[in-house]
Structure 1
Amino acid sequence: MSRDFYRSSPPSFLMRLFWKAAGADRYILERSTYGDQVKYLCLGGIIVATGLMAGLAGGYAFYTIFEPRGNAINSFKTAADISGNYNSIDIPTMLKALVFGIIWGLMIFNLDRFIVSSTGKGDGTEEITRKELKGALPRLFMGAIIAMTISKPVEIRMFKTEIDIKLHEKQIEQQQAYKAKTDSIFNSEIAKKESGIEKIEAELTDKRQRYKKLEDDYIKQCENRYPGPIAAAIKQQMDALAQEIKALENSPEYVKVKGEKEEIEKRREAALNQSQKYAAGLDGLLERIKICHEISGPVISLFITLLFMAIELTPIFFKLMLIKSPYDYMEENIKELIKAENGIEIQYNYYQDREGHERDKIVQHQVLRLLKEKIALLEAQSQLSEAALNRWTDKKKEQIHDNPELFVNETQPQDKGLAV
């Protein structure tokens, strides 16, 4: 807007965008001072930056939660990547995280915009009084929650390398503990089956040793050119012992127990093969936050959280500290003009309520005018209706006076059982 005493520079597209983000009125700012324009430019910039950080943090948190699980150090190295390069991004999860990050960033941006734009300017002085702080507590509380939701994903991303190393150690410990527990469970079952097998194995060993001894004696007897009856007797004993060994090896009890043992060993092997998969599951967002707190310590973690809280809560405190400027007075003037145009009158501190608080009296003149017109119209309609009824009654009376028989229905009474 051009003036003789002051000329404001035309705002750029970026400045108008930040004005809108701060909830400021472009029409008033274009007619205000450059200081007001810069003030709301900075407020809008903080809100936009907070929304962008929230979107990045939300997207990273989503990706951390839903990414494919694996080894914390080289979980992204695919088997198909023969060249040894690392595929550090899972495309489907990244696309989902991108969509979620955009939605989350827009939500936080809109919420921050509402918090800042709905925060009043206090009493128009630089001092933040207790009353102003009390009124801003709900907005400060919501802003602190938003700051914490943004700071934690950013914090675990800052210490990602240290977290991955520590998480890899925990995964190895988890894998070893899982293997030890699996062995302890299955080994007890295997030991029970082996106790039953050992008895049969001992008997088989004894018979096999006896068979071996008889076989040696038979060979010695066969060294003669003409074997005698002793060799035949030994051969008969060997055949009988071989039948006993075969029957014992194929006994139902021995076969059953041995098959059950093999089945348990297969189950144990399958469970042990799953140990790496279960250990890789120890890679969620909560576990990374815990490790991050262990690595960074409470001081650094608190510092990062307070940093984001300062960024998030700064616009609220600044609005409470702002001194009234031409923009504020012009905004109040436009509000009063709009109220006057619509017949709204506010009588400030008009009465006290039961608790002693001063309340304003709001007079809706436009409403009162319409209400009076409506009441007068209803009263006039009532009077017209009454006059019409009176005139209709007089007309009917004249008709009765001229022709009374038209309004009287003469009927002859008839008695039951009597002839007329």
Structure 2
Amino acid sequence: MISRILNIPKTILKKIDLLFLWSSGIHLEIIEKTPHEKSKYFGIGGTIIFTALMASLAGGYAFFTAFKSINLSIFFGIFWGALIFNLDRYIVSTFGVGDGKKTISLQEIKEALPRIVMAVILGIVIATPLELKIFEKEIEVEIEKMKDENYQKLVQADTIFFQDKADQEKLVTTNKNELEQLKRHLEKAQKAPPDYITIQINELEEECKRLYTDYKEKQISKNKAQRNLYYARQNEDNYSKKELKRYLMLFSIATTNFNNSDNTYKEANSRLNNLKSKGNKFIEEGIKKTKEDIIKKEAELEKEEKTLDLLRIEEKTKKRQKSDVAKRYDGFAAHLEAMDRLTKNNAKLNAASWLITLLFIFIEIAPILFKMMTERGSYDDYLDRVKYDILVRQRQKQSDLNDEVNMQVKAHSEKMEQQLNAEIAANEELLRKIADAQAEITELAIQEWKKKKLEEIKKDPSKVIKSF
């Protein structure tokens, strides 16, 4: 009927039918004798085959995500599907029909628990790659965010280089400002020297006031740091070594700042006094010195700019390298992490992910549950009879083998007993002959002794009498 509707040759349909039945883990020879049971096991086999196909697709996608190779993903996908198929078929074929009732008993659950656990694990393993494929678009967006985050982390990790670059930029900017200031001073001094002197005196006076204020502030800070250090040393039992070290460091910094402020103030005050006392002569000397300072500053600035250019080139190289590293963060682990982040931040996506996982878990344990709820059929009775027949035959063979071994042992024992009796009889005859020979020898020895003694008596009777 189906072959006519779908226009499929009967031979192909027969092979598909046998494949599904074989996949359910049954004996094909027995099921042919109980054809009305085929539909039940056909459904179990179909579940196992389609689960293996989904596992193959999931495994292929997972391997493609990891290796980015179509050939490898096809090979490993087929291998993974075959592995899952073999495990599912083993799980189903090693579980019997249970107690033969439609209901599931506690004892059946206990017996099936190891297989159910295996099926649950397989369901999760199969579902995970398929979830990654189903939510592929959302995962790709999340991975791009993760790439940007990883890039920023890689850039921030190289803090020493970027701090050096920032310091170099700051140094170049400072030198440029100082150079511009020197040029402005030189221009003002060359255009209007008398007015410039007055302007310079006023500026220096203002600068001296500002520097003096800064000097006093630094002095106060130094004195405070000194008092804190003195107090900490006097009560060092109440302070840790780390705290004492910190107070010493603060005092050292405050002292350095005070000395720098003091030197700057004295230098500015000295220039102010020289400007008031020497006038134009001081201006001429200042113009000459300013020109020298400009030349020196320009050479220094050129050197610093070259260093900055090299740092900028190195920065581009580093960023490009780190960008390449970040872009490569697109493997299977990255997809799993992205999926985890999405499910944590999106309740609906998390629910959908769990539903897919539960679906595949149900598909995996469905054949076991089906067999637990299935009543015994003619196939099971026939299979039990075949198993019992095989068991009886094997026991009969064992019994025959035991009898044969016992007979061989008995025959061997009888043979050994006969050999032993023969040996005992032979030994008894030998002992008898030895005893007869010894008696005969003894008798002859006595006769010879008697004969010898009689001869001695004849020769000398008195000698014999004395011996008595």
Give TM class, smaller chain.
0.5 to 0.7
Write the letter of the residue equivalent to 1:327: Y
Instruction: Please list, as runs of the form range in 1=range in 2, the aligned pairs for 1:21-420 lying within 5 A after superposition.
Output: 21-33=23-35, 35-67=36-68, 93-175=69-151, 177-178=152-153, 181=156, 185-193=160-168, 261-283=308-330, 284-293=334-343, 294-295=345-346, 296-343=348-395, 364-387=398-421, 389-390=423-424, 393=427
Aligned residues: 330
Contact 1:46–1:311 (8 Å) recurs in 2: yes
- What's 2:19 paired with? 17
CA distance in 1, matches of 2:174, 2:381: 102
Question: Per the alignment, do residues 25 and 265 of structure 1 end up closer, same or farther by CA in structure 2, a change over 3 Å counting?
Answer: same
Which segment drifts farther, 127-136 or 153-162?
153-162
Q: Which residue of 2 aligns with 1:6?
A: none
Q: CA deviation at 1:153?
A: 1.1
Give the match's secondary structure for 1:122: coil
Measured in 2, the distance between the counterparts of 1:125 and 1:149 equals 32
Q: Is the 8 A contact 1:183 1:268 kept in 2?
A: no
Q: Which runs of 5+ in 2 are unaligned?
A: 1-9, 192-286, 439-468
Which of structures 1 and 2 has the bigger CA Rg? Answer: 2
User: Which position in structure 1 is the counterpart of 2:213?
Assistant: none
- The structural deviation recorded for 1:148 is 0.7
Greater per-residue helix proportion: 2
Q: State the percentage of identical aligned residues.
A: 29
Q: What secondary structure is seen at the aligned counterpart in 1 of 2:96?
A: coil
Deviation for aligned residue 1:327: 0.9
- In the alignment, the residues of structure 2 paired with residue 40 and residue 372 of structure 1 have an alpha-carbon distance, to the nearest angstrom, of 47
Relative to structure 1, the CA distance from residue 343 to residue 193 in structure 2 (aligned partners, 3 Å threshold; closer, same or farther) is: same
Kindly provide the CA deviation profile for residues 256-280 of structure 1, in whole angstroms up to 9, marking residues without a partner as x. Answer: 8666544443332222223432432
Provide the C-alpha distance between the structure 2 equivalents of 1:191 and 1:169, rounded to a whole number of angstroms. Answer: 27
In structure 2, distance between residues paired with 1:372 and 1:179: 82
Q: Which runs of 5+ in 1 are unaligned?
A: 1-8, 68-92, 217-237, 346-363, 405-420
Q: Report the equivalent of 1:350.
A: none
Residue 325 of structure 1 aligns with an amino acid whose one-letter code is G
TM-score, normalised by the number of residues in structure 2: 0.59
The one-letter amino acid paired with 1:149 is V
Cα RMSD, aligned residues only = 4.0
Return the TM-score normalized by structure 1. 0.65
Checking the alignment, whether the CA contact within 8 Å between 1:167 and 1:291 is kept in structure 2 is no
- Work out the CA distance in 1 between the residues paired with 2:431 and 2:317: 110
Contact 1:190 / 1:261 at 8 angstroms: preserved in 2?
yes
Q: How far 1:125 sits from its partner (Å)?
A: 1.0
Matched to 1:285, the amino acid is H
Separation of aligned partners in 2, 1:390 and 1:267: 109
Distance in 1 between residues matched to 2:131 and 2:430, nearest whole Å: 94
Contact 1:57–1:101 at 8 Å: present in 2 too? yes
Deviation, 1:122, is: 1.0
